[in-house]
């Protein structure tokens, strides 16, 4: 099971490591071209669409993945009924989006951007629904290919526009809309050919049954979106009339320049979580196998995480200066501490992806919903307190505080549900590696060479330490290269 899991993750990771960096570089190119203020307009509006986009899903994707993984034969009709529900949710989403825009007093430019991104969000939601079917059927390779197709189409379009036109931020929004709609059509045709799943049934009784099933997911995902995405929206809104009408957009742009890199790092745990969910669902009645699987996955993910976070902590300013060559020195100074704090929050993101996915697969949705409500309330309060004084850094600190609380609550829920036994030796390896990785990365900053070489040396040494203390076994990594038996 572990070998098969790692094989699927390695395939998805390989594809995403080819495309995702190109996407991040494209975004950076866009932000360097249009500036922090215009990019802040896009970033804040996109965050609002992502939060309200939960109304397009309401947990249907997770339900489909779980039900299809458990029983392929009975899931076909459920898939068609769920597709019908998703179609009916589109007007609800549109009303929420433009109703919120009125409450936030968006101007014409913001509403224009919101309209484009809202339509793109609809296609994104439908695409993720189709991918949920692939995941439930354990067609992980097909899902991996689809996970990069939209980005690949978008990158090609952006490069063309950046080179041949006088680029403005609305070109990015329109490019996303086109890329997501094309990928949705490809995904739908592919799933129809593979399984015949893509049909639409709209029946009143079916709608009631599905809404009853997904209600806990809806609460969970809505409040989770709030505590992870509300920061950009509040930055633009709370600072709108501070130091000029565009200061809020500027700070949202500064925050986005750091958040983008943390979000790129999130590619790894997201890919793990995508494949973990159906695997966890199939192992729930095998406690010992589940415990071993969770520990192995956790060790691998924390190994990768501490290497990334330790390097970015001590080379934050260098990384930002390398990537944002057109950004003025003041913006880099503002973004550097924001980047460091966000990367510390990334450790929490990784842990939540593991334990949150485990609890979701066990259908502990009521408890998860309760703690995400706490997280959302805390995020709004802390952001409201810190943003007016500390601006983008305040938003980063608010995210870190919220994520730390959420990790603690997730760990408590997992222990109450599964009673996993973590040996002292296992925990000691994790803490020793965490300390060693930061010590090694800090020491590397004193090497009399270009910082990129120093960072590479630190990375190699950190990997050596991980294998030396046997935090991760050689067998797990070799399984990435071996054929699944």
Question: What does the domain layout of the chain look like in residue ranges?
Answer: 2-478
What pLDDT shows up at residue 268?
A: 76
pLDDT tens-digit readout, 90-112 = 898 999 999 999 988 888 988 99
**Cβ pair 31, 39 in contact under 8 A:** yes
Exposure string for 300-319, b = 16+ CB within 10 A, e = fewer: bbbbbbbbbbbbbbbbbbbb
Among 146-155, 306-315, 409-418, top mean pLDDT goes to: 306-315
Lowest mean pLDDT among 54-63, 109-118, 245-254: 54-63
CA distance 232 to 240: 12
What pLDDT shows up at residue 149?
A: 84
What pLDDT shows up at residue 204?
A: 67
Q: How does residue 199 score in pLDDT terms, banded at 50, 70 and 90?
A: low
3-state secondary structure 410-476: HHHHHHHHHCCCCCHHHHHHHHHHHHHHHHHHHHHCCCCCCHHHHHHHHHHHHHHHHHHCCCCCHHH
Over 60: is that where the pLDDT of 340 sits? Answer: yes
Q: For residue 335, what are its two tokens?
A: 């973004």
CA-based end-to-end distance of the chain: 10
Over 60: is that where the pLDDT of 138 sits? Answer: yes
What pLDDT shows up at residue 456?
A: 94
Q: Which residue has the higher pLDDT, 361 or 441?
A: 441
What pLDDT shows up at residue 308?
A: 93
Range 392-420 average pLDDT: 89
pLDDT tens-digit readout, 38-48 = 888 898 899 88
What pLDDT shows up at residue 69?
A: 58
What pLDDT shows up at residue 483?
A: 35
Q: How does residue 72 score in pLDDT terms, banded at 50, 70 and 90?
A: low
What pLDDT shows up at residue 446?
A: 93
What pLDDT shows up at residue 305?
A: 92
Q: How does residue 484 score in pLDDT terms, banded at 50, 70 and 90?
A: very low
What pLDDT shows up at residue 480?
A: 39
What pLDDT shows up at residue 65?
A: 65
Q: What is the pTM of this model?
A: 0.77
**Cβ pair 366, 216 in contact under 8 A:** yes
Q: Where are the alpha helices (DSSP H) in 315-364?
A: 316-323, 329-361
Over 50: is that where the pLDDT of 119 sits? Answer: yes
Q: How does residue 170 score in pLDDT terms, banded at 50, 70 and 90?
A: very high
Torsion of CA 83, 84, 87, 89, to 10 degrees: -100
Over 70: is that where the pLDDT of 77 sits? Answer: no
What pLDDT shows up at residue 481?
A: 40
Over 90: is that where the pLDDT of 234 sits? Answer: no
Measured from the Cβ of residue 405, the count of other Cβ atoms closer than 10 Å reads: 18
DSSP type of residue 93: H
Measured from the Cβ of residue 1, the count of other Cβ atoms closer than 10 Å reads: 14
Range 394-416 average pLDDT: 91
Q: Which helix (H) or strand (E) holds 247?
A: helix 247-265
Share of the chain above pLDDT 70, in %: 82
CA distance 352 to 409: 10
Query: Which residue is associated with the tokens 């998860």?
Result: 368
Q: How does residue 136 score in pLDDT terms, banded at 50, 70 and 90?
A: low
Share of the chain above pLDDT 90, in %: 23
């Amino acid at each position: 099971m572990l070998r098969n899991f790692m094989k699927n993750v390695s395939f998805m990771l390989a594809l995403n490591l080819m495309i995702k960096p190109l996407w991040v570089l494209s975004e950076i190119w866009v932000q360097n071209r249009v500036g922090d203020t215009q990019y802040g307009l896009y970033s804040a509006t996109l965050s609002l669409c992502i939060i309200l986009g939960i109304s397009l899903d309401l947990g249907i994707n997770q339900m489909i993945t779980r039900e299809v993984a458990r029983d392929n034969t009975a899931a076909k009709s459920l898939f068609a009924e769920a597709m019908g529900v998703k179609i009916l949710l589109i007007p609800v989403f549109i009303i929420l989006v433009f109703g919120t825009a009125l409450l936030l007093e968006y101007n014409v430019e913001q509403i224009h951007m919101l309209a484009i991104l809202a339509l793109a969000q609809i296609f994104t939601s439908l695409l993720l629904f189709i991918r949920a079917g692939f995941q439930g059927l354990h067609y992980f390779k097909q899902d991996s290919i689809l996970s990069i197709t939209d980005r690949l189409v978008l990158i090609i379009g952006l490069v063309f526009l950046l080179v041949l036109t006088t680029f403005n931020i609305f070109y990015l929004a329109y490019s996303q809309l086109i890329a997501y709609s094309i990928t949705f059509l490809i995904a739908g045709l592919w799933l129809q050919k593979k399984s015949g799943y893509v049909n639409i049934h709209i029946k009143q009784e079916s709608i009631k049954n599905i809404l009853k099933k997904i209600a806990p997911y809806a609460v969970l995902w809505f409040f989770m979106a709030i505590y992870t995405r509300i920061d950009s929206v509040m930055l633009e809104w709370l600072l709108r009339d501070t130091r000029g009408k565009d200061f809020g957009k500027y700070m949202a742009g500064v925050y986005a320049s750091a958040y983008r890199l943390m979000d790129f790092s999130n590619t790894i745990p997201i890919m793990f979580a995508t494949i973990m969910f159906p695997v966890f669902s199939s192992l729930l009645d095998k406690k010992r196998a589940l415990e071993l699987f969770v520990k192995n996955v956790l060790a691998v993910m924390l190994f990768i995480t501490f290497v990334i976070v330790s390097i970015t902590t001590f080379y934050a300013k260098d990384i930002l200066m390398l990537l944002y060559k057109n950004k003025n020195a003041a913006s880099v100074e503002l973004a550097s501490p924001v980047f460091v704090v966000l990367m510390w929050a990334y450790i929490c993101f990784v842990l939540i992806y593991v334990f949150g996915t485990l609890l979701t697969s066990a259908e502990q949705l009521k408890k998860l919903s309760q703690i995400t409500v706490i997280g959302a309330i805390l995020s709004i309060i802390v952001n409201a307190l810190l943003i007016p004084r500390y601006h983008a850094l305040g938003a980063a600190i608010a995210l870190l505080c919220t994520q730390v609380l959420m990790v603690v609550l997730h760990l408590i829920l997992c222990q109450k549900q599964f009673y996993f036994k973590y040996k002292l030796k296992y925990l000691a390896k994790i803490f020793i590696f965490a300390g060693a990785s930061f010590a090694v990365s800090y020491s590397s900053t004193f090497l009399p060479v270009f910082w990129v070489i120093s960072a590479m040396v630190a990375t190699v040494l950190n990997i050596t330490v991980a294998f030396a203390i046997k935090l991760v076994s050689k067998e797990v990594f070799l399984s990435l290269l071996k054929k699944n038996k």
